[in-house]
Amino acid sequence: MKTQARKVVVALRMAGIAGQDKLNGIFEHLSHGHRWQMTLYRTRHEFSAETVRKDIENGASGFIVAIPDADDALAVLAKSTIPTVVMNVSGGNIEKRTDNLYCVKSDAAKVGREAASEFLRQGNYRSYGYVGYERPAEWSEKRGEAYAARLNEAGFTVSFLKGERPLQKWLIELKKPAAVMTSCDDDAYKVADACRGLNLGIPNEIAIIGVNNDPILCENCDPRLTSIQPDFVGEGLLAARLLERMMANPRRKFKAETKLIGIRGIVRRDSTPPDSISGMMVQKALAFINRKALSGIAVEDVARHLKVSRSLLDLRFREHLGESVYSTILNIRLEEVKRRLRTSSDQIGRIAVDCGWENPASLKNLFKRLYGVSMRDWKARSHEITFLS
C-alpha cells in the first residue's frame, strides 16, 4: 500500500543556476522513494504571507524557502511550528524561531579561502582585490573576509572595492598582475567588461574568479570566467532530507540549527592562468569533453584529441579534479539524462541515444544501479509537482 504523499511547499528562485541546482538536489531526495505533493513558487511575487497562510490552511506538511527578501512570508512561518528549512535567506524574525527549523547555508568562508588558495597556487600576482555584492549581504561579506584572511596569512593585503568608488579607477590602481575575486559571477562579468574597456589583459594583467559557476555567464563572457562552484545540489538534497526527518516525526520538536555546505570545486576557464602544463592539459580536455560528451565519446577519444596516453590523461585528471576522465564524461551525460527526464516528454529510448548510449538498456540498468529507481519512476516522481504561474 502506497503511503500518502506529503504536501510540501518549495519557494525557490529559479532565475539562475543556484535555484535550478537546489531543485535538482530536492529531486535527488525524492528519487529514493519519498513521495511529496509539491507546490513550487519561483518568484518573490508568488511567495507571500497570504499564500503561506493558505498553504498552511490546506494542510501543508512543511516548507523549504530559498527566495530572498520574502520577509512577510517568513514572518508567518516564524510564528508557526510547521517544519521549515530556509536556504541562504533570512528576515521576518525567522532566525528567532527556536524549533522545527533548519537553516542550510553555503559555507561562505570556505568559498573565500578556496579563491585565495587558488590564486596563491598560481603564485604570480603583485596585488589582490575583492569586489563585493552591490547590496549589503552577509554571505558576500563573509566571502571577502575569509579571502582576505587567507591572503593575510600568506603575507598579502587585499584591496576592497567599496562605496561609490568607480570600478574602472580601482582596477587601474591595482598593481599588475592582479588577482580579483568577486562575490558572484554577475560581478565577475562586470569586472571583465570593465577590463576590456580599459584594454587590461585577462588573465595576464587581471585574473578573475567568480562564484556560482553559472554557465550562461561564465561560458559567454570574453574571456570565459573561472568560477567557484558551490554545492547547490548538496544544499537542496540536505534541505529535503532535513525536512523529511521533521515531517516523519511530528510529535518531536527539533531544535533550530544551522547547517553549512561546502563547495564542489573550482571550474577553471580562461580568466585565470593554468597552474601548470598539466593544468592546461586538463583544461583542454574538459573543453573537448563539454563539447562532445553527449555524442558518446570514450576516454580514448579524449586522449587521442590531446595526443597523450590514456594513463597520463587519467593521472592528470585525478591530480587536478579528483576523478577519472570516464567519471567526468559519465557525470555530464547523466546530468543531461536527468534534465531531459524532468523537463521533456521524450521517450526514454530517444533520451538515451541523444545522450550517448547506443543501447538504451545499458543506460536503464546503469541508472537503476546508481539511483536505486528506474528511469520511468524517476521521471514520474519528477513530474509530481504543481507549478504556479
What CATH code is carried by the domain that includes residue 334?
Answer: 1.10.10.60
Name residue 257's beta-bridge partners. 102
Assess whether 194 and 245 both reside in one domain: no
Calculate the alpha carbon distances from 298 to 181, 301, 303, 323 in Å: 35, 5, 9, 15
Pull the grid cell for residue 99.
Answer: 524549533
* Residue 225 shares a structural domain with residue 237: no
Phi, psi of 351, rounded to the nearest 5 degrees: -60, -45
Q: Are residues 299 and 224 in the same domain?
A: no
pLDDT at 273: 87
CATH number of the domain that 245 lies in? 3.40.50.2300
The pTM is what?
0.75
Question: Residue 3 has what pLDDT?
Answer: 64
- Classify strands 178-182 and 206-211 as parallel, antiparallel or unpaired: parallel
DSSP 351-366: HHHHTT-SSHHHHHHH
The per-residue pLDDT string of the chain (389 residues; one tens digit each, 9 = 90 and over) reads: 456 789 999 999 987 788 989 999 999 999 888 989 999 999 999 999 999 999 999 999 999 999 989 999 999 999 999 999 999 988 999 999 999 999 999 999 999 999 999 988 876 688 999 999 988 888 999 999 999 999 988 888 899 998 778 999 999 999 888 999 999 999 999 999 999 999 999 998 999 999 999 989 999 999 999 999 999 999 999 999 999 999 999 999 999 999 999 999 999 999 998 766 776 687 678 878 888 999 989 999 999 999 999 999 999 888 867 789 999 999 999 989 998 888 888 899 999 999 999 999 999 999 999 988 899 888 887 655 544 43
In a domain, 384, yes or no: no
pLDDT at 1: 43
Q: Do residues 25 and 114 both lie within one domain?
A: no
CA atoms of 252 and 257, how far apart (whole Å): 15
Whether residues 115 and 214 share a domain: the answer is yes
Pick from 169, 167, 159, 166: which is nearest to 125 by CA? 159
- d(CA 232, CA 19) in angstroms, rounded, equals 8
pLDDT given for residue 276 in this prediction: 66
* Residues 87, 66 contacting (CB under 8 angstroms): yes
Q: Is residue 1 part of a domain?
A: no
Range of the domain at 142: 108-230
Q: Are residues 125 and 194 in the same domain?
A: yes
Residue 383's pLDDT is 59
In a domain, 382, yes or no: no
Structural domains in the chain (count): 3
E runs forming strands in the chain? 6-12, 36-41, 62-66, 84-87, 101-106, 127-131, 158-161, 178-182, 206-211, 226-230, 257-261, 263-267, 385-387
Q: Are residues 182 and 207 located together in one domain of the fold? A: yes
- Helical axes 375-382 vs 17-30, angle rounded to 10°: 120
| Phi, psi dihedral angles at 200 (to 5 degrees) | -90, 125
How far is residue 382's CA from residue 385's CA, in Å, rounded to a whole number?
7
